[in-house]
Structure 1
Amino acid sequence: MTYRFTARATATESAPDGRFTQAALAEGEDGSGFLLVFLAGAEEPDDQEAALGMDTYCLVTAGGGTAYGCVREAVLTGGVLRVALDPEALEDLRADDSRIEAVVEAVIEAPADDLARFREALARVLSYGRADARPRRLAV
């Protein structure tokens, strides 16, 4: 199944101290509603992160659901982002949101500059960490 939503807000952030990069989409202009937040560290993962399986990017949902290395494909064509998720990660991502499906499509209604920043940040985030956890297809 595919869950489709309209993202009326995008957010990108690189921490001033360089500790993380974020690319986020939200249904509401105020950041409310359905939410996808893609996060990655700025430094190479350490041994402890590797031992915990946290040596890659993560995806966080509005209910606090979190999964590491769970994006199998991410394709951004025009203003539509299609994300295919590892089915084994769905339970972790659902938390309080049963709308999470194996494929999520977001129609992004954002100014061109915001979309360009989101595209750049998402590419950085999904390229972070161990190679086997990166998306098989990344076209953003």
Structure 2
Amino acid sequence: MVEFTARSFGFEEDEDDEVLEVGVAESADGGGVVLLIQRATYDPDEQDVNLGLDSYCLVSDGRTHYGGVVRAARVGEELQLDMSSEAADTLDLDARVRIRLDGPEEQVEVFFRGLRTVLDWGRSADRPEMVGF
């Protein structure tokens, strides 16, 4: 299991790239372990579906995987993500990641609401079990 404290985290809508995104970084300057989870702000078209791009995507260290979160659990200010072995291999992470969010309560709440919005989108087979949200 990978465990770290995220000193930088957030949720945003990027209108230029047409994505909703949550992200965590181990360091306040955006360094260390970094994990982004994104989804489009528009409905996927036939080409997106055919290419498997009709789900959220996980991004870490320049690697991307569509879908792959099996379970997302919130306990207070901690997030535990359980990923498929394929997602973990692609991202070069352990299949289980535990992240403690170190920041103001309001920012933590915005992050978790955003995470739910991002993960609860796209093809139903990729939507994870959500616990504690």
The structural deviation recorded for 1:124 is: 0.5
The structural deviation recorded for 1:138 is: 4.6
The whole-number CA distance in structure 2 between the counterparts of 1:39 and 1:86 is 17
The whole-number CA distance in structure 2 between the counterparts of 1:65 and 1:139 is 28
Long gaps (5+) in structure 1: 95-99
Aligned positions, number: 133
3-state SS of the aligned residue for 2:53?
coil
Correspondence 1:88-103 to 2 at 5 A = 88-94=86-92, 100-103=93-96
2:125 maps to 1:132: yes
2:89 maps to 1:104: no
Q: What is the TM-score when the length of structure 2 is the normalising length?
A: 0.94
The whole-number CA distance in structure 1 between the counterparts of 2:16 and 2:59 is 21
The whole-number CA distance in structure 2 between the counterparts of 1:122 and 1:109 is 16
Q: What is the TM-score when the length of structure 1 is the normalising length?
A: 0.89
The whole-number CA distance in structure 2 between the counterparts of 1:24 and 1:77 is 18
1:84-105 deviation per Cα after TM superposition (whole angstroms, max 9, x unaligned): 00012222112xxxxx101000
- After the TM superposition, which parts of structure 1 deviate over 4 Å for at least 4 consecutive aligned residues? none
1:2-46 deviation per Cα after TM superposition (whole angstroms, max 9, x unaligned): 111111111211123582100101100111110110100111111
Amino acid at match of 2:121: Y
Q: Partner of 1:81 in structure 2?
A: 79
Contact 1:40 1:128 in 2 (8 A): yes
Amino acid at match of 2:39: A
